[in-house]
Amino acid sequence: MANIRRLHSEHKLLVAGPFMDDTSLRGIFVLKAESQEQAQDWAGSDPAIKAGRLAAEVHGPWLIDPNAIHEPETTQGMEQYTLVLLKSGEKWNPSATGFMDVMKQHHAFVKEMTEKGKIAVAGPFPFSEPGELRGITIYTAVAEETGASYEESPYTLLGQRKRRRSHRMIQSSKPDY
């Protein structure tokens, strides 16, 4: 926990927390780094990673509204969220006719869900980034509610994206351990 506190006090760490489900993913760090290499270095400073008990998989840059992550109202305890990793669906084709229209609908959906308080933060990865991971959404709801909300997304309905996996997580953007 000392490393998490240190990264936060240095304004490098925005969100951190363990996942509550039984998968190979153990937790999350959202870092405010200048590059993927810098984020990898910061993540690699974690004692569990240094000891080889955990391995860091770094993705980025993650494109989010700069005002999306903010200090919590209280630093006592942690809050539960659901992380959804989005990957390319069977119809993912940024050069296809109508793709950008679906993108605009999806952004409107995310904005609406954020205004309703159902999404804490969401954002895509640049189209130029390699791999299937296309975006991350962190819902304020538990996994069961998240699934229903996610299925309403224009991207999901039109097969542009599919949910890769939902993970219940606990996070605190200002660790108080």
Q: Any idea what the CATH number is for the domain that residue 107 is in?
A: 3.30.70.1060
- Cα pseudo-dihedral 119, 125, 126, 131, rounded to 10: -150
> Which domain range does residue 34 map to?
2-171
22-56 core/surface letters (b: 16 or more CB in 10 A; e: else): eeeeebbbbbebeeeeebbebbeebeeeeeeeeeb
**Rounded-to-integer distance, Cα 121 and Cα 143, Å:** 15
Question: Integer distance in angstroms from the first to the last C-alpha of the chain?
Answer: 7
d(CA 92, CA 62): 19
User: Is 34 inside a domain boundary?
Assistant: yes
Q: What is the pLDDT of residues 92-114, one digit of tens each?
A: 888 899 888 988 888 898 889 88
Residues 145-177: tens digit of each pLDDT:
555 555 555 545 445 444 444 444 444 443 333
Phi and psi for 110 in degrees, rounded to 5? -60, -45
CA distances from 68 to 24, 122, 126 (A): 27, 8, 18
Q: Is 177 among the domain residues?
A: no
Confidence (pLDDT) at 144? 52
Average pLDDT (56-83) is: 74
Confidence class of residue 43 from pLDDT cuts 50, 70 and 90? Answer: very high
Maximal C-alpha separation, the chain: 51
The span from the CA of 145 to the CA of 125, in Å, is: 24
Does 61 sit behind a cis peptide bond, omega within 30 degrees of 0 on the bond before it?
yes
Q: What is residue 161's three-state secondary structure?
A: strand
Residue 110 lies in a domain: yes
- How far apart (Å, rounded) are the C-alpha atoms in residues 34 and 154? 32
Determine, yes or no, domain membership for 176: no
23 lies in a domain? yes
Report how many domains make up the chain: 1
